[in-house]
Structure 1
Amino acid sequence: MAHALLSAPSHELKSQIAKTYDAIASQYNAWTAPHHEVRLDYLNRLLPHLPSSGARILELGAGAGDPGTALLASLPGAHVVANDISGAQLSLLRTRLASEISAGKVETREGDMMDLAFSEDDLDAVVGLYSIIHLPREEQGEMLRRIGKWVRGGGWLLVNFSGKASEGSVQMGWLEEGKESQNAMYWSSWSPAESRRLVQEAGFRIEVEELGGEEGPGVNFLWVLAQKVE
């Protein structure tokens, strides 16, 4: 029987995602730490393309700020808007990066990424790692179209998608092995070809496109680094 979340309204789905990430913050951060090398590899491919000083960057799904937000905030004069749906994760980020927040290099915005708003051409880059995959498929294209308006001509997008299509899947007790749990996690994805098309339709020219970054048996991702067409 299909899980009720698969047919739930978007706001209920997001509420459950936030609740689950709040509940498993420590487990998730410990689980993902061994994969930081993959994230850092792609982030370091982005950095040379950013302004030498004063870059404005939006990070979708910033989590606890390690390693992405910390690296982006280390750029000279950078201002990073760190968004996450989990209040628990952003609380950890605020503790970890308190000095960067005090210096005005990092600000946090809690909530659904679909509720964010920026002016056109406001950002030099948007980073979305393991985050857009939590949106229902019909919202993913709209999110990319908004990003295409927010990023200035010549700016950049670094994002990953699932390596295979899924209309939506739910896993109960994710990362809570050996424990009965009502916490549920949700993901969805288009095919790599469709995800690529959505990025291009949002106004980006793809510079890097790779399948890899495996985080478990049979789990891989489409990694995209793309430049906004001027």
Structure 2
Amino acid sequence: MSAHPLLSAPSAEVKSKIASTYDAIATEYNAWTASHHAFRLQYLNRLVPQLSAIDNSRILELGAGAGDPGTVLLATLPAAHIIANDISGAQLSLLKARLAAEISAGKVEARQGDMMDLEFAAGELDAVVGLYSILHLPREEQGELLRRVGSWVRAGGWLLVNFGGKESEGSVQMGWLESKEEGKESQNAMYWSSWSPEESKRLVEEAGFRIEVAEIGGKEGSDADFLWVLAQKVG
């Protein structure tokens, strides 16, 4: 069986397909992932107490999706400003509807686009959260993103991310989460990649963070483990 052409495609093409696929399956994805909210909340609830005493905190959420449960929980922090980034316009439209009051109040800001195109000043952010999102980047971009995040987060700030739990140069699944229609071939495709857990941890540390939590958990299906990392910026 030949390799899927997306595995050798330029990064922009990969991301365009990810965006269009998430747009197409937004409803199915959000229904499916609701059963996994406990995994996210388990780690988000380790981060939130670290941020609750910070006035006017600025938090970047990479891959915010429709806002549940991450943005919703982060928006409960006092005087917090959450920048909710996602590559899918359909998902962010759902987030805007879900968090209309918080957006109107200035607590939440939705930014659509590739996370690699984001720019922030050095030390501008108090925390960055990226759950089930960085693993959509080609592997060579993951380390570069973490280096940028290390610049954006102030000394003493926080990083909460997860990565694939085993090494993969890249994988593609056609028709992911779609209802199968007989005789119809799906045009949607999802892409993931990951370093080994040891390398992912090394990249986090190289970006200037001290790892407080690093553990494998959050199994989804028969072969999808994740490395969850909570780390504090050294300064």
Q: TM-score, normalised by structure 2?
A: 0.97
Q: Deviations over 1:142-181 (max 9, x none)?
A: 0000000000000000000000000000000000142331
Cross-structure match for 1:201: 206
Cross-structure match for 2:174: 172
The range that moved more, 193-202 or 213-222, is 213-222
Structure 2 residue identity aligned to 1:130: Y
Unaligned runs of 5+ in 2: none
Cross-structure match for 1:219: 224
d(CA) in 2 for partners of 1:37, 1:184: 26
SS of match in other structure, 1:65: coil
Shift of 1:216: 1.0
Q: Deviations over 1:95-123 (max 9, x none)?
A: 00000000000001100000000000000
Query: What percent identity do the matched residue pairs reach?
Result: 76
d(CA) in 2 for partners of 1:134, 1:84: 12
SS of match in other structure, 2:204: helix
SS of match in other structure, 2:66: coil
d(CA) in 1 for partners of 2:170, 2:152: 27
d(CA) in 2 for partners of 1:56, 1:145: 18
SS of match in other structure, 2:162: strand
Alignment of 1:128-207 (within 5 A): 128-179=130-181, 180-207=185-212
Are the counterparts in 1 of residues 132 and 162 from structure 2 also a CA contact under 8 Å? yes
Unaligned runs of 5+ in 1: none
The number of residues matched between the two structures is 230
Shift of 1:54: 1.5
Structure 1 residue identity aligned to 2:231: A
d(CA) in 1 for partners of 2:45, 2:101: 23
Alignment of 1:14-29 (within 5 A): 14-29=15-30
Cross-structure match for 1:73: 75
d(CA) in 2 for partners of 1:79, 1:127: 13
Alignment of 1:109-120 (within 5 A): 109-120=111-122
Are the counterparts in 1 of residues 51 and 77 from structure 2 also a CA contact under 8 Å? no
d(CA) in 1 for partners of 2:171, 2:5: 11
Shift of 1:215: 1.2
d(CA) in 2 for partners of 1:51, 1:139: 31
Does structure 1 residue 38 correspond to structure 2 residue 43?
no
Q: Deviations over 1:32-77 (max 9, x none)?
A: 0011011011000001111523211000000000000010011110
Q: Which runs of 4+ in 1 moved over 6 A?
A: none
Q: Deviations over 1:163-204 (max 9, x none)?
A: 000000000000014233110000000000000000000000
Alignment of 1:42-53 (within 5 A): 42-52=43-53, 53=55
RMSD of aligned alpha carbons: 0.7
